[in-house]
Structure 1
């Protein structure tokens, strides 16, 4: 049931991201908590939401741009972290979260490749919709437009649960087999948050971006090391 929920959430987010509405609900800062909530763990979604939003802050659909599929990556990472944390009985901890990122983040790039094929497919559907309109059949044009939403939904609905399923199996097995990795992985999550903060600053595309980039990286990393030291 959890994977079905993930598929629906990922599919709807993929449509909202570019094909319909575009109310920014597919952004990681909103999507990760919603995914966690759908799986019964909104707190887990809140843990991964800020760094993922900062990491993919520059991934914006403008015109013909094809950025990484941040919605697909977010659902897979959040779902994998929640399910892995549930299997371990500890919830979404920093070490679980960083492993989910390492395993599932590549799906965002795979989604970008899939988007290229989806765009080509939808170009053909657009031609058919225009022909239907030229022939006075408005209903047929609407149907072709709705058909154009099927491909992005299907891609995300298949890949996100697959990535989450992989994480749900690999992460518990790894942490049980290598318990000594917990501490370094926890610090690794804070390092990832620092990198994400720096990436978000760089996405500002301003003249002062390098200053913000390195400042965010250093500040977040220092805070992460301090918090990690306190927790350990």
Structure 2
């Protein structure tokens, strides 16, 4: 049981750190879904889960940009929460990390991007109030107090997003034993859902690039992969 809480704590620490890196510290792209999820997988001893979940979500969120007052979905929370859940589900079920688990984790936790956006907006208001107070303190010559007030604006991101990532990791542990009871056809369907979701994510990324005929190529690529998955599923039934 202590191993479970260790993994949950590791997931929360990394989730909190990259949430801070995304907004206030370093900003060296460690918070991008591919990097954040892959490192999460490495921390939880399931690199494939982190890598493949991160690759799918990187494509899905590739068109989002945090510019000025425009806040996109919180791709970092989506990546860390989903990859943590995928890794801990595999660990709890005693099975190897498979596309079926990755698909299930994405379906269950991809909505975290919207949750993170909602939280981000509220934390921005709190940080803006502290920034005004810090500016007033600096103008009054209270530099130490101003620095402390600025730092207090960072900690809520670490605490809130770290806690949510830990909850996702714990949810994965709780869902793991339940997966053993899923019928074989359901697991096969989830396994085939992964390449279909990846192709749609790639299409979204291509569409967001605004390249010439991007929509056409994106639609053809996504359609080809989805059609291939459908044909293979039908062949299995025959």
Query: Given the two structures, how large is their TM-score scaled by the length of structure 1?
Result: 0.91
Aligned 1:54-133 pairs, distance under 5 A: 54-133=59-138
How far 1:219 sits from its partner (Å)? 4.2
Q: Is 1:50 aligned to residue 73 of structure 2?
A: no
2:3 corresponding residue in structure 1: none
The 5 A counterparts of 1:186-225 are: 186-221=191-226
Correspondences of 1:170-185 after superposition (within 5 Å): 170-185=175-190
Q: Does the 8 Å contact 2:93/2:179 carry over to 1?
A: no
Partner of 1:135: 140
User: Where do 5+ consecutive residues of structure 2 fail to align?
Assistant: 1-5
State the Cα deviation string for residues 11-34 of structure 1 (Å, max 9, x = none). 001011121111111111111110
Quick one: structure 1 residues 208 and 13, their matched pair in 2 at CA, closer, same or farther if it must change by over 3 Å? same
Provide the alpha-carbon RMSD of the alignment: 2.3
Following the alignment from structure 1 to structure 2, what is the Cα–Cα distance between the partners of residues 139 and 223? Answer: 62
- Residue deviations 1:35-62, cap 9 Å, x none? 0011112222112121110011122222
Could you say which residue in structure 1 is the equivalent of 2:22? 17
What residue is the counterpart of 1:40 in the other structure?
45
Contact in 2 for aligned 1:54/1:196 (Cα 8 Å):
yes
Alignment gaps of 5+ in structure 1: none
TM-score, length of structure 2 as denominator length: 0.89
Structure 1 residue 63: deviation in Å? 1.7
Aligned pairs, number: 232
Q: Are the structure 2 counterparts of residues 76 and 227 from structure 1 closer, same or farther at C-alpha, using a change threshold of 3 Å?
A: farther
Q: Give the deviation of 1:229 after TM superposition.
A: 8.9
